[in-house]
Structure 1
Amino acid sequence: MRMSQWAHDTFGQRVPLIRQGVAEALSVALENALDAQKVAQTDHLHPFGFTLMSRKFEALAEAFEDLGDVRVVKPGGSQHELVLLDGKLLFPFRYAKDRSISVMSARIGDGRPSALVQALFNRFGPEPRMRQLALHDVAPHAVPVAEALGDLPEDTRLVLIAYACNAHAGLLDAWWGEAELLDRTGSLRWHHCEEIPLAQESAAPARSEGEAAAFDEGVPPAPALNPRRGAARLVAPVSEQLPFGPEAASGA
């Protein structure tokens, strides 16, 4: 998959390495969630949701733990740690349970975004393309959280990792890019969004920016896990109200 200008500007020559690490981390988190659901032996999907909610953050940290410029941070008010990679704060969230929703219509959560999420967008998201209300006007409760993020560098950039999955079909697709938070419902305006090739996708043609997968493309199998941990497994290709996400609250 070719390297876009945005990806190069964001991660430099390490784009294939980091892109692969993100895809593998999502696969690991999903596989762990499926295992938890199987062990629980229940028709309710809470084990899947709660496990995915936590493991998506942990698996990202594990994927990049051996890289020298990685810092794992735990913002005040959060139960989870985020990966700060070369000044880019990686933020994974599930935007859909199936392919009926385009990533361009993605929302952060099923309800009002948490104070922490709003503060992250306000402080580290891209400059809004339209004038917005100040953070204290839109979400007064988020102001103390924003102040608690003061130990992060001012030039930190928020990189979103949006993925679709469910407990039956597995990981359907994944995207990354930058977006602004539009309103209290979690609606986004993407400034850039591009697909992350999954582990099982080899010679499949790349989709254009913003193009969602079609229903007739079939459901890909869950990617096989890599037994190695951390950056050692990342090799360049030969060519929530929950603090962050709705998974636990909404099941699968």
Structure 2
Amino acid sequence: MLSTWALETFGPRAEQIRHGVAEALALALENAQDAQKTARTDHLHPFGFTLMSRKFEALARTFADMADVEIIKPPGSQHELVVLGGNLLFPFRYAKDRSVSVVNARIGDGRPSGLVQALFSRFGPQPWAEQLALGGVEAALPEPATPAARALTRLPEDTRLVLIAYACNARAGLLDVWWGEAELLDRTGSLHWHHCEEIPLAGALPAGLPLVAPAGQESPFAGGAMPAPELNPRPRHERATALPATGEAPYAPDAAAYEGR
């Protein structure tokens, strides 16, 4: 059963898109596992590098023929980003097993890249609370003007960033997949989810209830209704001060060298 958030975000194609996301990631994981087996090494570099590329390629090919789709390739990146009906899909691995909850998901293991910061500041949801200074460093500084960030300026201002968080490893493959919207809180890649719900995988039981309830619904993890998130796009002057600055860095989709870490 589709959630109100999914229907409001993707419209009548929501079920098709949700299924396509699951299929694309499953294919990417299968390809990465094949690469690891072929390499005949205990090091996970073949798995990680293959997955890092294939997850973007599989999503792009899955939705390439769908109406109202744009595929963008930021300068300096070998990876394509899918913008579907005004929603930019960004996949990232948040865990290698089920010991980490998606609630504690982070974008990579280090400082988010300039592109990732630009994605959140331009297209992420309106923050629920004013950010405070983190570790003595002011959080509200202009976003970095990297070539990858500048490439995003041609997208409409009302584009929405839809995160696709997944857990996987070379042995077990794809463990689970979630999607939703979140704020980027700090330089470590910590997230604050406004909405997060599981995407059912092929052969799996129906997905559970959303972890964060959209407006008008009640969270299954709280006794009362969750505050209604404001998901309308932010004005340009607010986006300009949403994230801390950082020097220009090579583009890494998960803000890490590779996914086999």
Structure-2 change in CA distance of 1:77 and 1:130 (3 Å) = farther
Paired position in structure 1 for 2:102: 103
User: Could you tell me which amino acid in structure 1 is paired with residue 165 of structure 2?
Assistant: A
8 Å Cα contact 1:61/1:83 also seen in 2: yes
8 Å Cα contact 2:93/2:254 also seen in 1: yes
8 Å Cα contact 2:118/2:143 also seen in 1: no
Cα distance in 2 for residues equivalent to 1:165 and 1:24 = 14
Cα distance in 1 for residues equivalent to 2:22 and 2:151 = 30
Paired position in structure 1 for 2:74: 75
Query: 1:67: Cα distance to partner?
Result: 0.6
The C-alpha deviation readout for 1:124-151, integer Å capped at 9, x for no partner, is: 0001112248xx9656672344333211
Query: 1:170: Cα distance to partner?
Result: 1.0
The alignment yields a C-alpha RMSD, in angstroms, of: 2.2
User: Could you tell me which amino acid in structure 1 is paired with residue 164 of structure 2?
Assistant: I
Structure 1 length as normaliser, TM-score?
0.81
The C-alpha deviation readout for 1:94-137, integer Å capped at 9, x for no partner, is: 0000000000100000000001100110000001112248xx96
Which of 161, 169, 173 is the equivalent residue of 1:158? 161
8 Å Cα contact 2:180/2:194 also seen in 1: yes
Query: 1:188: Cα distance to partner?
Result: 0.2
Structure-2 change in CA distance of 1:149 and 1:98 (3 Å) = same
- 1:196 is aligned to 2:199: yes
Which of 212, 235, 258 is the equivalent residue of 1:249? 258
Paired position in structure 2 for 1:142: 144
The alignment partner of 1:122 has SS state of helix
Paired position in structure 1 for 2:125: 126
Paired position in structure 1 for 2:180: 177
Paired position in structure 2 for 1:114: 113
The C-alpha deviation readout for 1:180-239, integer Å capped at 9, x for no partner, is: 1000000000000000000121xx24322239xxxxxxxxxxxxxxxxxxxxxxxxxxxx
Structure-2 change in CA distance of 1:247 and 1:185 (3 Å) = closer
The alignment partner of 1:143 has SS state of coil
Paired position in structure 2 for 1:31: 30
Q: Which has the higher contact order (CA 8 A, sep 6+)?
A: 1
Structure with the larger helix share: 1
The C-alpha deviation readout for 1:41-91, integer Å capped at 9, x for no partner, is: 111000000000000000000111111211100123433110010110000
The alignment partner of 1:195 has SS state of strand
Aligned residues: 220
Paired position in structure 2 for 1:210: 211
8 Å Cα contact 2:32/2:50 also seen in 1: yes
User: Could you tell me which amino acid in structure 2 is paired with residue 171 of structure 1?
Assistant: L
Percent identical residues:
68
Unmatched runs of 5 consecutive residues or more in structure 1: 212-239
The alignment partner of 2:145 has SS state of helix
The alignment partner of 2:94 has SS state of strand
Structure-2 change in CA distance of 1:200 and 1:46 (3 Å) = same
User: Could you tell me which amino acid in structure 1 is paired with residue 258 of structure 2?
Assistant: A
Structure 2 length as normaliser, TM-score?
0.78
8 Å Cα contact 2:94/2:102 also seen in 1: yes
